[in-house]
A and B are shown apart, each in its own frame.
Chain A
């Protein structure tokens, strides 16, 4: 037996981050057996969860399956709809009256671009002369255009005809995870407010004091206290680094919008529409839409922001209440310090443009579980590895989001300010300089845990109309026949698949009635 073995994990804070972490750890360590590592979650009865963050990545399917949650139950309880893409509207340029511009960032590409890269052929006009890049390399845009689902009722749980993720009700999702964690996975739940964090002489957390449940000691503490960052920030004094010099948005005004009636189409992608000082998300759940305008308060008054959101929603916004949320964009200097790790908003927050929040929680959980330190002596090594890897992922996420702004040709002051040199990360401008004359290559991404794959960069670059000149190296792209055949095949699959898939709404209604086949 070594001293300071990690036997008790204390998670402070509920919400998606807290309960997802609790459920993941408890499932992995089989905490229902009392001899195994035990998980306690302390949640304040007084602090409501923020409850936005309604988009996920396809990784969530694997996460839920591994937690032993049925996809049918999850979809019913959390009002889930299936997401196949993000549609970026009016990002490319300020729209001319009545004429919107848009492009897709899709989850499925026909070829893995590391095996065969279609981009140079599309770019050089050898395939799909009139087709967009997304149409040339994937069938999924065609499905989104028609509000179709990525699967039908005959597909099993978590299996799709096309790759997909979810739109979900974040409040319900936290509840689902909470019930599952407490009732099935052996997580101990304490409803109390933390009043004090006790440190030992080495600066490790010993215990937290609470108002109603006395004192809870542990060996490893997970800070899921949101923006407050009670443990890592307040108690351990790990400073916060703002990235407001790179990402300029600092506020969101949000509104939940009911469907007009029971026939209104449910989008099978997140719709992100650029506005004069930010952008509006529009996420169609099974029972309502969630919308929000993310903006820069330096470039827009709050009144103007609300007005823009109401205009976007249209007449349905009448009588609906708008909620304002200040956003503190940035991250902690480190996420793991001594025996404390922050997951969720307490670790970092960046605007939800690419729905990376929940994805990064999953990534953090996976790494925490896999590297789980046996005792205090093993923590230092894990701390370094974890911080390096997560810092890398956050930085690349920031770069990727910034790229959307940088490539835009919109002309309002907010957009112009977004393109000034001082706001641009060098890591991003270096890559873009390279891509002006070269296709995006697997060699541009040398970390396995790169949050956004090569294909994601392609969708954004070409969707935004990034100008790339490959002419001087045309000789390298000689596999024209293969590219043309692939293109034809994609078009014919798109035609076939459209007739086989139900609409998102049809599928969701059927799930309410029947549910999917279990795995």
Chain B
């Protein structure tokens, strides 16, 4: 049986991004391509949080054929060069502890030459913090500079970058592109039931649409969010609960306009730790998106709200709407089942600490497109391979998020103390942390090709948090001091050069909005 028609259930970022990727890769506009229909409820608003992305989105946007200027203009996007973590360690001075997890691996990658062991051997009193020592980007972020000059072609960067964006506008933008350019058939209706055939494959769905009462397809993608119309309601696939690892179960989100239009827009995400959670702060051009992610076991909603308002400071006013969102951490025991696959919140949810949500949608859609089964007998291979891959990606993402909490030396509240309790730390992460006590992580710790967080990311967080790796006994194997000095020196020189050359983020965004980039 051939697979010629795919039905995506649910719009939102996951639905429209998947539609765009599949339609491009599977050439929906061509007679022999795969036809794609997306059905979206006119009644369910898009959740519209998840405003941070990863650099891979650039390649995807380019591939689906949108111009970067249009994207930035229509989605209120700004450039993101990393995240800064504030207060994730004990406060020992008047200034809170802060470190960057930058996106850059442009200058050098720790896969080729890891500077970490050489940094670890420097004098703790006088050395630069790890992020400043090995990457140019923290300095640029501190100055609010953009990753590229306006003269650079679209999607190219002098520094690695991703975006901050307005998630609702992004979904709308993708929707328009999908319908106008990529040949996607759009139905505005609610799915009322899913009909299975005798082998329990999905045969068709029924809707409340006036004319299209039933929609047949060969393959189905569940992008219906936490509802999980296919994965949960139809197939009742099991759920891995991770509330014992990641404690946060609630978010309070608010959009905060700048009081002053000339406010410098930050070129990185701020993540500031609180008593029982953390606050995200994402700068778009005309407003910030701010939210408090916390555990209701450790703090009341009122107290969490008070902390959020205190954080926002003078930009806060009582007429701003604070939305409360329940978070259900975990992921399904499988994502692909028979002729269906779940992408987005229907597949699983991990808090936005490292902005992995949109990345994971993108990765999922690309993998499905690349391996797309055009016949029913090819489904089982894809099912097995996809489920294996995405289980790894979810597990590893959770471990990486947990890392931020469990190596903290904060002991001021039960929330932080419990986060460091070994019973809450996945076993694999515990083993790795033990191993890294005597040597820094190496590329051999990252042997999966689809590892969502790579060696560089681990090094930034571990040594940003001053994780104590004692090298005394294995020092001898790090004897390339000259090369290390050169690389440290190069970071320093390149930083100076870039600080001179790169424009301020706000000015750059204004220029893009007025003139746009070179379209190459």
Contact = CB atoms under 8 A, between A and B. Distances in A.
Interface in A440-474: 441-450, 472-474
Contacts of B372: 473, 476
A37 B449 contact: no
A417 interface: no
B473 A371 contact: no
A519 interface: no
B213 interface: no
A438 B378 contact: yes
Contact of B32 (A433, A442, A474): A474
Nearest to B434: A381
> Top 9 nearest A-B pairs by Cβ distance?
A475-B32, A475-B33, A36-B476, A473-B374, A374-B473, A475-B27, A29-B476, A30-B479, A374-B438
Interface of A: 2, 5-6, 28-30, 33, 35-37, 367, 369-372, 374-375, 378, 381-382, 385, 389, 430, 433-434, 437-438, 441-450, 472-476, 478
- Report which residue of A2, A372, A473 has the largest number of chain B beta carbons within 10 angstroms of its beta carbon: A473
Nearest to B432: A381
B371 A438 contact: yes
B287 to A, nearest CB: 39
B26 A476 contact: yes
Contact of A476 (B27, B389, B446): B27
A375 B473 contact: yes
B374 A370 contact: no
27 contacts: A28-B479, A29-B476, A29-B479, A30-B479, A367-B444, A369-B477, A370-B442, A370-B443, A370-B444, A371-B442, A372-B439, A372-B474, A381-B431, A381-B434, A381-B435, A382-B435, A389-B444, A447-B449, A448-B446, A448-B447, A448-B449, A450-B449, A472-B2, A473-B374, A475-B26, A475-B32, A476-B25
A443 B367 contact: yes
B34 interface: yes
Nearest to B374: A473
Contacts of A444: 385
Given A385-B444, A442-B449, 14 more contacts: A5-B473, A29-B479, A36-B476, A369-B477, A370-B443, A374-B438, A374-B439, A385-B445, A433-B381, A446-B449, A448-B447, A472-B374, A475-B30, A476-B372
B212 to A, nearest CB: 25
B240 interface: no
Contacts of A367: 444
B450 interface: yes
Interface of B: 2, 25-27, 30-34, 367, 370-372, 374-375, 378, 381, 385, 388-389, 392, 431, 434-435, 438-439, 442-450, 473-474, 476-477, 479
A366 B187 CA distance: 56
Nearest to B367: A443
A478 B389 contact: no
B476 A30 contact: yes
Nearest to A33: B476
Contacts of B439: 371-372, 374, 378
Given A374-B439, A381-B434, A446 B448 contact: yes
A6 B439 CA distance: 14
Nearest to B475: A36
Contacts, number: 99
Contacts of A445: 449
Contact of A28 (B26, B30, B448, B477): B477
B113 to A, nearest CB: 12
A448 B444 CA distance: 9
B33 A29 contact: no
Contact of B447 (A37, A372, A389): A389
A285 to B, nearest CB: 33
Nearest to A2: B473
Contacts of B30: 475, 478
A396 to B, nearest CB: 12
Given A30-B476, A472-B374, A476-B372, A443 B34 contact: no
A443 B479 contact: no
Contacts of B25: 476
A438 B374 CA distance: 9
Contacts of A382: 435
B448 A478 contact: no
Contact of B476 (A37, A430, A449, A450): A37
A443 B435 contact: no
Contact of A449 (B374, B378, B435, B447): B447
Nearest to B378: A437
Contacts of B449: 442, 445-448, 450
B442 A437 contact: no
Given A434-B381, A448-B443, A443 B371 contact: yes
Contacts of B474: 372, 374
A514 B33 CA distance: 59
Nearest to A478: B27
A2 B431 CA distance: 20
Contacts of A447: 447-449
Contacts of A372: 439, 474, 477
Contacts of A446: 388-389, 392, 448-450
Nearest to B448: A446
A369 B444 CA distance: 11
Nearest to A472: B374
A367 B447 CA distance: 12
Contacts of A476: 25-27, 33, 372
Contacts of B2: 472
Contacts of A370: 442-444
